[in-house]
A and B are shown apart, each in its own frame.
Chain A
Amino acid sequence: MTAMTYAEAARLALQEEMARDPKVWALGEDLGYEGGMAGQYDGLQAEFGSDRIVDTPISESTIMGAAVGAALAGTRPVAEMRFSDFAMCAVSELVNQAAKARYMFGGQARVPLVARMPIGIRGGIAAQHSQSPEAWYVHTPGLVVVTPSTAADNRGLLKSAIRCDDPVVYMEHKGLWGVVGEVDEDDEEPVPLGVAAKVCSGDDITIVSWAAQIGVAALAADALVEDGISAEVIDLRTLYPWDRDAVMNSAARTGRLLVVHEAVRIGGFGGEIASDVAETLGIPVARLGGERIPIPFSVPLEDAYKIKVDRIVARVRELVA
Chain B
Amino acid sequence: MSSNLANEPARVAEMFRKMVLIRSFEEAAGEAFHAGHVRGSVHQYIGQESIAVGVCANLREDDYLTSNHRGHGHSIAKGADPRAMMLELFGRVGGTSDGKGGSMHIADFSVGMLGANGVIADGCTMSVGAAQAIRLLGDDKIVVNFIGDGGINRGPFMEALNWAKVYELPVLFICENNQIAATTTTHLVTAGEGIAARAESFGMPATTIDGNDLFEVDRTVARVVAEIRTGGGPQLIQAMTYRLRGHFAHDEAGYRDLAEVEAALGREPIARTEAWLLENGMTADEITTLKAEADSEIIGYVEEAMNAPWPDGKLAFSDVQDVGAPSYPGADQ
Q: Which residues of A contact B (CB under 8 A)?
A: 22-23, 25, 27, 51-52, 54, 56-57, 59, 61-62, 64-75, 77, 92-93, 96-97, 101-109, 141-144, 164-166, 193-194, 240-241
| Residues in B neighbouring A93, C-beta threshold 8 A | 122, 125-126, 156
Partner of B160, one of A62, A74, A144: A62
B162 contacts A by Cβ under 8 Å: yes
- What are 17 pairs between A and B in contact, CB < 8 Å? A51-B136, A62-B156, A64-B125, A69-B131, A70-B136, A73-B129, A75-B136, A75-B137, A96-B119, A102-B319, A105-B105, A106-B99, A109-B114, A141-B326, A144-B323, A164-B323, A166-B321
Query: Assuming the A-B contacts A57-B163, A241-B323, are A107 and B156 also in contact, with contact meaning beta carbons closer than 8 angstroms in the complex?
Result: no
Interface residues of B in 91-150 (CB under 8 A from A): 95-101, 105, 107-110, 114-115, 117-119, 122, 124-137, 143
Asked if A193 and B162 sit within 8 Å, CB to CB, the answer is: no
Give me the 5 closest cross-chain CB pairs, A-B, nearest first: A65-B125, A69-B129, A241-B324, A106-B97, A66-B129
Minimal beta-carbon separation of A268 from chain B (angstroms): 19
Minimal beta-carbon separation of A238 from chain B (angstroms): 8
Asked if B130 and A194 sit within 8 Å, CB to CB, the answer is: no
Minimal beta-carbon separation of B161 from chain A (angstroms): 10
Instruction: Categorize the interface residue count of chain B.
Output: 35 or more
Query: Assuming the A-B contacts A56-B163, A103-B100, A108-B107, are A69 and B323 also in contact, with contact meaning beta carbons closer than 8 angstroms in the complex?
Result: no
Partner of A104, one of B115, B122, B128, B167: B115
- Closest partner residue, chain A, to B132 (CB atom): A70
Partner of A66, one of B101, B128, B322: B128
Minimal beta-carbon separation of A14 from chain B (angstroms): 16
Minimal beta-carbon separation of B215 from chain A (angstroms): 31
Minimal beta-carbon separation of B152 from chain A (angstroms): 14
Asked if A105 and B101 sit within 8 Å, CB to CB, the answer is: yes
* Bound CA–CA A240/B320 (angstroms): 13
Asked if B109 and A68 sit within 8 Å, CB to CB, the answer is: no
* Bound CA–CA A292/B127 (angstroms): 39
Query: Assuming the A-B contacts A72-B114, A106-B98, are A65 and B122 also in contact, with contact meaning beta carbons closer than 8 angstroms in the complex?
Result: yes
Query: Assuming the A-B contacts A69-B126, A96-B118, are A109 and B323 also in contact, with contact meaning beta carbons closer than 8 angstroms in the complex?
Result: no
Asked if B130 and A69 sit within 8 Å, CB to CB, the answer is: yes
B296 contacts A by Cβ under 8 Å: no
Minimal beta-carbon separation of B111 from chain A (angstroms): 11
Asked if A96 and B122 sit within 8 Å, CB to CB, the answer is: yes
Minimal beta-carbon separation of B118 from chain A (angstroms): 7
